[in-house]
Amino acid sequence: MWIVAVLLLAFFSFIFLWRSIAFIAKNKSSSAIEWPVVGMLPALLWNATTDLHGFITRLVKESGGTFLFKGPCFANLDIVVTSDPMNVHHVFSKNFANYGKGEDFRAIFEEFLGGGIVNSDGESWKIQRKRIHSFLSKDGFKNYVMATLHQKMEGTLFRVLDDVSSSTGVRGEVDMQDVVSRFMFDYVCLWVLGFDPGYLCVDGRSKTFSCGKAFEEIEEGIIYRHIVPKGVWEFQKRFEIGSEKKISLSTKVLDEFLYNAVKIKKQEMVHKEEQRQHHDILTQWLLADHQSTDKFLRDIALTLISAGRDTLSSTLSLLLWLVATHPDVEEKIFGEIERVMIVMTRSARGTSRFLICKDDLHELVYLHAAIYETLRLYPPLPFEHRCATEADVLPSGHKVHKGMRMLFSMYSMGRMEETWGKDCMDFKPERWISDEGNIIHVPSQKFMTFLTGPRTCLGKAMSFMLLKFMVSSILWNYKFEMVEGHVVKPTPSMVLSMKDGLKMRVSKRKV
């Protein structure tokens, strides 16, 4: 009997080996080999930890813009991956009603974003969008956001950078990604929650950044949930194994922080008239709808902190890196700030270290282009997903069945030769400036960093205002150089960041 078993085993092993060799031979020019039973999952797992977004970009390029990722045959993990602007326009604008976030993706983000705007569809999304849009457009809110930025930069960021730049040796080196991330967390909490948690302070750079760590661990864990079959991560979640344990612990950290903020805010709301002077979003929300549950307020607040902090922090850190490694760009940004300042009167400049005021930011065209160029090559949110409500056919001819998942890679879209030309991999802000010296408009289905269609980002204009103010003030006052030997590598996460941080030396400019 055992001889038959051994013979059968040998026979099936031979068949499996033979089929595998045949598959490798057939797929050897492809970046993702499709294996029997497990599909392309091995290639995805192999690349996920090293260069996930580069891997997706190679696949998209090889396939001419759209490909079908074949998951294991037992896991319902087939995904249409596309960077084709026609498909993007079809899904996000023309046939918007047929493509929502979907149940699978909602489950992936449930503990993190809950019922917040980014994780909702239908009526709930519409109400939140209308309300948040109205809060962000108010002059009172915009002035509050600029005033707090001034205070935070002068009160903490510049003091930290002064401290680093006056030190020598290792103490003169700093992880700018960490500094920016802490700064942005404190700052965004000020306009979402109305208080400053104080993660960035001169003596406390080593203070545990518990909320920042919690964000990082959840955002990395969420990538894993996109990759493995749902049953696998649900099993791990149930028994708190691996990344699921980290998600669970990190969610507790964020819940404690946010429920406490909600509790304090509700207590303050007893004095309703006084609160009308407060511009933070939580106050505004409670004034508009005092019946919102604590859980819903927690979800809204966390979603907005994530929407504002993750994106601004990623853009600012990556821009500092790109400027430090492209001296020609640095020189042009600096020259432009100098030119704009000369036009301003001496009294308008005063003695403040913040030289360009809000109303003159539109003059910084080259800086605007440098921010666009950073966002093209390094979109803070590198991909977006959707789920088809009904079967459909994409403009590229690919069939989408009911309930099918789709992935849109903004990272790949910024690297397409067809859109950006042969030098698409170069960091070249000039590509955004017309002969007349204005910013060139690129349609949002080609440059999708802020999304496109009815769900387009609500914070785009505000982001440019804040980034231009921060970058011009920081670069005018400080010079940044990379620490020798430090290599910048991407982290596999749903938000683009640098795996080992951004080690820099800072010196004060003599201006």
Residue 100 interacting with ligand HEM (CB under 6 A): no
Report whether 457 belongs to an annotated binding site.
Answer: yes
Strand 79-82 and strand 405-409: the pairing is parallel
Distance, in Å, from the CA atom of 345 to the CA atom of 347, rounded to the nearest integer, reads 5
Rg (CA), the chain: 25
407 φ/ψ angles, rounded to the nearest 5 degrees: -125, 135
Q: Is 173 helix (H, G, I), strand (E, B) or coil?
A: strand
Select 349 or 460, whichever has its Cβ closest to ligand HEM: 460
Of 86, 227, 269, 457, the one binding ligand HEM by CB under 6 A: 457
Residue 374 interacting with ligand HEM (CB under 6 A): no
Residue 326 interacting with ligand HEM (CB under 6 A): no
* Least separation in angstroms between CB 495 and ligand HEM: 10
Site size toward ligand HEM, by CB under 6 A: 23
Of 39, 100, 308, 501, the one binding ligand HEM by CB under 6 A: 308
Residue 304 interacting with ligand HEM (CB under 6 A): yes
Distance, in Å, from the CA atom of 77 to the CA atom of 114, rounded to the nearest integer, reads 23
Residue 462 interacting with ligand HEM (CB under 6 A): yes
Of 41, 60, 81, 118, the one binding ligand HEM by CB under 6 A: 118
- Contact between 376 and 414 under an 8 Å Cβ cutoff? The reply is yes
* Least separation in angstroms between CB 339 and ligand HEM: 25
**431 DSSP 8-state letter:** G
Distance, in Å, from the CA atom of 367 to the CA atom of 464, rounded to the nearest integer, reads 10
> Considering only 61-69, 155-163, 266-274, 303-311, which stretch makes contact with ligand HEM by CB under 6 A?
303-311
> Considering only 35-43, 155-163, 300-308, 396-404, which stretch makes contact with ligand HEM by CB under 6 A?
300-308
Select 99 or 233, whichever has its Cβ closest to ligand HEM: 99
Residue 315 interacting with ligand HEM (CB under 6 A): yes
28 φ/ψ angles, rounded to the nearest 5 degrees: -65, -20
Residue 453 interacting with ligand HEM (CB under 6 A): no
Select 278 or 505, whichever has its Cβ closest to ligand HEM: 278
Q: What sign has the CA pseudo-torsion 68, 72, 73, 77?
A: negative
* Virtual torsion, Cα 165, 167, 173, 174, nearest 10 deg: -60
Residue 56 interacting with ligand HEM (CB under 6 A): no
* Virtual torsion, Cα 423, 428, 433, 436, nearest 10 deg: -90
* Least separation in angstroms between CB 374 and ligand HEM: 9
Residue 459 interacting with ligand HEM (CB under 6 A): yes
Q: Which residue from 295, 297, 208 is spatially nearest to 287, judged by alpha carbons?
A: 297
- Contact between 436 and 103 under an 8 Å Cβ cutoff? The reply is no
Q: Which residue has the tokens 């939580």?
A: 282
Of 70, 129, 205, 446, the one binding ligand HEM by CB under 6 A: 129
Which residues belong to the annotated binding site? 457
Sites of contact with ligand HEM (CB under 6 A) = 117-118, 129, 132, 304, 307-308, 311-312, 315, 375, 380-381, 384, 449-451, 455, 457-459, 462-463
